[in-house]
Amino acid sequence: MPRFKLIVEYSGAPFAGWQRQANAPSVQQTLEEALRKLEPEAPPVIAAGRTDTGVHAMGQAVHCDLEKDWDPFRLTEALNNHLRHDPVAILAARVVDFGFNARFSALERLYRYKIVNRRAPLTFAKGLAWRVKAPFDLAAMAEGAAHLLGRHDFTTFRSSQCQADSPLRTLDEFAVRATPEGCEITARARSFLHHQVRSMVGSLALVGSGRWAPAEMRRILEARDRAACGPLAPSEGLYLEAVRYPPPWAD
């Protein structure tokens, strides 16, 4: 029974998140149904991160255990054939040893948040970015973002439904850059709390709009109070871009 590592891309728009739900479509269910067309007894898959409703992925990492010693290329082709009616694609597959766990072996996760500045509604990018009518002050946002770098208690940016044992996390990168359409925000850490990235982006948007001074990010962080947080940024702008692993599991 070999173990496979899959790199999965998906649009989160039609799904109630990654995790299998009792009464709503999920990415996990869609992928497992495709796998069980190849092997009816295939066990559940494990992902690096449980993305929320509407959140996208460009490089979600998954592991699955199968009975057949599949050629990775043929496994990728077969899965993509069964997934062709869904916005889910397998970008790569490889055999890994049983020490690999897509969730617990990860060294870091990289998220990207896309913001488009324009007054007109989005057409081609609808559901793929957060539309904000007025441009942000990116220099102020970068100054505000720097206050969150390092190891902190991120209770302020944690969902009340978060199941993590501790609010302590180390944020290795929280950066803002201009794009032709608006801006992108990247967040990189070994792990994140539930809603942490969207909460940080929503608060940073208040800095970018001039409603908060950059130092306000430090104040609300130190408050350790969810009520101090800014609004939750919409899910459609968030992407799980990549998950990094140590050798020999790195791509």
User: How far is residue 54's CA from residue 58's CA, in Å, rounded to a whole number?
Assistant: 13
Catalytic residue among 52, 65, 86, 225: 52
DSSP string, 227-250: GGS-PPPPGGGEEEEEEE--TTS-
User: How far is residue 116's CA from residue 130's CA, in Å, rounded to a whole number?
Assistant: 6
SS3 196: helix
Beta bridge partners of 188: 110, 173
Size of the chain, expressed as the number of residues it contains: 251
Neighbours of 209 (CB within 10 A): 15
251: annotated active-site residue:
no
List active site positions.
52
